[in-house]
A and B are shown apart, each in its own frame.
Chain A
Amino acid sequence: MEVRKIFSRQASLFGKRGQERLLNSTVCVVGLGGLGSVVCECLVRAGVGNLILMDFDRVSVSDLNRQILYSYRDIGKRKVDAASERLRSVFPEVKIRAVSKRLTKDSASFLRGDMVADCLDNFEARFFLDRLCRDKGLAFVHAGVEGLFGQVVTVLPEASRRLSDIYQGIGRSEKRPVALCPPVMVVGAVQALEILNFLLRGRAGLSFKDGLLFADLEHFSLDKIGLT
């Protein structure tokens, strides 16, 4: 099929079986801001066949400096709709379940798939997602970004060390985080690659289940901080 030729340049890396595996995989992306945009874009261009997109928000003009799924014409649209339209324009066969809801106990039923991407924008929501993933037996890849810094870490469902343990005691910032495109793209791309490696190779493919990647684009360094 002509549309599958989209993936011809990566065939030697993934192989036919790997590509089929991605086409049959489902990733739930929670939060369609800067990170969520990059993660979705990378996953769909890699050939992930099924996405569940969750975000309650609408596109605003101040999103456009970094949220690469949206254009000026999308302002005011529901993010899940604008994102779905964009992603289907890249790979028409992608199956998308668009959930325009905030993550709550009631909307948690939409949280499923082979892997979850935490692309939320505050720690309180992330800790809630962490608890839901644990209860549902789902693995998730967390990422956060602010200014020129960001981090990525993977949490498996049975892990005793949860996100709230890693970030225990973190202060709540009253300021809106500085957000610009290049760091969001770097951190989001790492998050997407971790997800792809999991889909292709299972747990053996994960790089950040025992350590947190700290991205420093001020000094152009990527460090893995060991976690116990």
Chain B
Amino acid sequence: MAIDVRIFGPLRLDSGLKAISIDALEGQRRLRDILLELGSLKGLETLRAVATEGREEGAPFIILVDGKNCMLLQGLDTLVKDGQRISVFPPSGGG
């Protein structure tokens, strides 16, 4: 029972982590709780801040749940199920 989390960009640089497997507990967990757990790891504190302050909008990175922006789901209240994948990446704006 696991949720696969892929980390890209500066968060990978800061944490040294590329992929993390999170326990799905009862088969599903709220995205907010997953971010809180991830945010306890060194280099991923920003995820905790996003979860506690509820500011998924305006964050410097995009959170995808199975390839869909969490903002198009239920934001931090999105239920992530066992076997689903979360991807966190910072879109680059420069040209």
Contacts and interface: CB of A to CB of B under 8 A. Distances in A.
Report, as a range, how many residues of chain A touch the other chain: 35 or more
Interface string A28-72: 000101111000000000000000000000000000000000000
B58 to A, nearest CB: 4
Interface stretch (A87-95, A102-110, A218-226): A218-226
Interface string B59-83: 1101010111101100000000000
B13 interface: yes
Interface stretch (A18-26, A166-174, A199-207): A166-174
A167 B67 CA distance: 12
B29 to A, nearest CB: 20
Contacts of B95: 31, 33-36, 119-121, 143-145
In this complex, which of B13, B89, B93 has the most chain A Cβ atoms within 10 angstroms of its Cβ? B93
A58 to B, nearest CB: 16
In this complex, which of B12, B67, B94 has the most chain A Cβ atoms within 10 angstroms of its Cβ? B94
Interface of A: 31, 33-36, 119-123, 143-147, 149-151, 165-173, 177-179, 211-212, 214, 216, 218-219, 223, 225-228
21 contacts: A31-B95, A144-B93, A144-B95, A146-B92, A151-B91, A151-B92, A166-B62, A167-B62, A167-B69, A169-B56, A169-B58, A171-B58, A171-B60, A173-B60, A211-B67, A216-B9, A218-B12, A226-B66, A226-B67, A227-B68, A228-B66
